[in-house]
């Protein structure tokens, strides 16, 4: 890692696979036959996949999801987070395809506050599997990808792709 006087500059992440998407690309991290990260990328990247059969299986499922939102993402994954974050992610995973909840809805279900829930959403490294894009603000889309403008476009695309209520 390199350091500048005022900021830390991190090297770009290396992925085991990159799947092209209508909004850019999806980077996939795998460790020991577990998915450890699915990252939405706002910039187009060249698709590639390692020779590992498990990685190929995961990339194929992600590609199928991009064609048909009802395609299952049923591969083993590793949740890495605090107990609170894991509880939020577990409840978030129960949001049915085609629906969106507000931060307040999710906070009520986990007996916490919307801000804490939003922080847990932001720490989610398994986007699509743990559908943080299905969490919206009371009056609109809410945040996504640390407030990146392109991130909000991706969130809108995902909700429309899944035909979430109110986001057609």
The residues spanned by each domain of the chain are 17-67, 83-162
Topology of 83-162 in CATH? Arc Repressor Mutant, subunit A (1.10.10)
User: pLDDT tens, 80-119?
Assistant: 999 999 999 999 999 999 999 999 999 999 999 999 999 9
Q: Which residues are catalytic?
A: 132
pTM of the model: 0.83
Confidence tier at 139 by pLDDT (50, 70, 90): confident
Tell me the residue length of the chain: 168
Distance CA 39, CA 26 (A): 6
> CA torsion sign, 139 to 140 to 145 to 149?
negative
The answer to whether 61 touches 106, Cβ cutoff 8 Å, is no
Parallel/antiparallel/unpaired status of strands 48-49 and 34-41:
unpaired
Q: How far is CA 9 from the centre of its chain?
A: 23
The answer to whether 145 touches 158, Cβ cutoff 8 Å, is no
Q: What is the CA radius of gyration of the chain?
A: 16
């Amino acid at each position: 890692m390199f350091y500048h006087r005022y900021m830390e500059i991190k090297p770009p992440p290396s992925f085991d696979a990159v799947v092209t998407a209508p909004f850019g690309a999806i980077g996939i991290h795998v460790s020991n036959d577990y998915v450890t990260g699915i990252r939405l990328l706002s910039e187009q990247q060249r698709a590639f996949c390692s020779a590992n059969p498990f990685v190929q299986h995961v990339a194929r499922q992600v590609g199928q999801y991009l064609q048909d939102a009802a395609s299952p993402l049923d591969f083993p994954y590793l949740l890495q987070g605090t107990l609170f974050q894991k509880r939020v992610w577990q409840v978030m995973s129960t949001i049915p395809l085609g629906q969106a909840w507000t931060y307040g809805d999710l906070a009520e279900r986990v007996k916490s506050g919307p801000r804490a829930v939003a922080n847990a959403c932001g720490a989610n490294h398994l986007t699509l599997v743990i559908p943080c894009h299905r969490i919206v603000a009371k009056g609109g889309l809410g945040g996504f990808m640390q407030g990146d403008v392109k991130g909000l476009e991706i969130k809108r695309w995902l909700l429309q792709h899944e035909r979430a209520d109110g986001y057609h």
